[in-house]
């Protein structure tokens, strides 16, 4: 039995779809909040057939989370649910901390009461802040986040390490790098850019266009997570059963290049307006993925051009079909 929190979300949907295809028994837990269009979340859920249970619950309900664990006794927990959004977190830090920090605490407490064989949880490349040394390695310092969202994800890592140390819960943190693809979140660049381009409105590029991201296609992310299920960190000697992985393609791409590829895929020319750097943002991300490769013998494979083509095909069919 695998419990996935945030299964109506972007990564959660694709992951659960793959787990069900592989024959796993899956329980999904999501509160279906209205941070973005709930109809997209419902559309994802409508495509998930065969869930053992589809539960509506807010992770701030600690006792409720424990009841779910008591009922299903999951062998594996994949905690993806979170309040996303770097810029959103600047305006709503309280909401982000409640969802991400208290939500993580309640998942950990439920794991303490009903221990799984493996807990995997979503972290973020944002924990690296805007430090100069690239590529980002999991051994780099991450004590200088530049947004409340980043701070909340770093807090989740520290909390998981604490529970692994105290209670021996095998825990794996997944630092995702700019995940994109079909059914993606409307608040992220691919969706925002495509929507503006199809409406012949200008798109906004910050830092005067001098931005780069390690774009990672969602199927590659899912494959990485599925393979990591079978690799819980072990307790050897005094070592804490805790691991961290960068989950990225390992190749930074400028946003201007991203826009050019999206123009080709959509058949639309972008109107670009340049803006200064925004608070809480970082200029460049780049994942070093050697630890991931060594553990699961996999490096993300989908090229940016192919990934954008797949995203654009879905976007045109879903919104303009």
Kindly list the catalytic residues: 149
Residue showing tokens 């619950």: 57
HEC states along the chain? Answer: CEEEECCCCHHHHHHHHHHHHCCCCEEEEECCCCCCCHHHHHHHHHCCCCCCEEEECCCCCHHHHHHHHHHHCCCEEEECCCCCCHHHHHHCHHHHHHHHHHHHHHHHHHHHHCCCCEEEEEEEHHHHCCCCCCCECCCCCCCCCCCHHHHHHHHHHHHHHHHHHHHCCCEEEEEECCEECCCCCCCCHHHHHHHHHHCCCEEEECHHHCCEECCEEHHHHHHHHHHHCCCCCCCCCCCCCEEEEEECCCCCEEHHHHHHHHHHHHCCCCEEEECCCCCCCCCECCECCHHHHHHHCCCCCCCHHHHHHHHHHHHHHHHHC
């Amino acid at each position: 039995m695998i419990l996935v929190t945030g299964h109506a979300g972007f990564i959660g949907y694709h992951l659960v779809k793959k787990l069900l295809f592989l024959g796993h028994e899956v329980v999904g837990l999501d509160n279906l909040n209205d941070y973005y269009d709930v109809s997209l979340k419902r559309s994802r859920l409508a495509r998930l057939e065969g869930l053992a249970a589809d539960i509506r619950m807010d992770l701030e309900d600690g006792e409720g989370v424990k009841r779910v664990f008591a009922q299903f006794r999951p062998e594996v927990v994949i905690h993806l649910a979170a309040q996303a959004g770097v810029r959103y977190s600047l305006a709503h830090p309280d909401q982000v901390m409640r969802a991400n920090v208290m939500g993580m605490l309640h998942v950990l407490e439920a794991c303490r009461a009903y221990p799984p064989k493996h807990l995997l949880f979503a972290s973020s490349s944002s924990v690296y802040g805007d430090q100069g040394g690239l590529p980002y390695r999991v051994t780099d310092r991450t004590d200088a986040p530049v947004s409340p969202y980043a701070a909340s994800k770093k807090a989740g890592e520290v909390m998981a390490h604490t529970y692994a140390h105290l209670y021996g819960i095998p825990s794996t943190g997944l630092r995702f790098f700019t995940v994109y693809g079909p059914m993606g979140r409307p608040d992220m660049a691919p969706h925002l850019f495509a929507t503006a381009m199809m409406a012949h409105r200008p798109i906004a590029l910050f830092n005067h266009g001098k931005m780069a991201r390690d774009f990672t296609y969602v199927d590659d992310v899912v494959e990485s997570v599925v393979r990591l299920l079978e690799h819980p960190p072990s307790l050897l000697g005094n070592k804490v059963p805790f691991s961290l992985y960068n989950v990225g393609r390992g190749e930074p791409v400028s946003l201007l290049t991203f826009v050019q590829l999206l123009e080709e895929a959509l058949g639309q020319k972008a109107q670009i307006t340049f803006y200064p750097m925004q608070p809480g943002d970082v200029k460049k991300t780049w994942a070093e993925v050697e630890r991931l490769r060594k553990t699961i013998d996999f490096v993300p494979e989908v090229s940016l051009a192919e990934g954008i083509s797949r995203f654009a095909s879905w976007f045109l069919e879903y919104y303009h079909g």
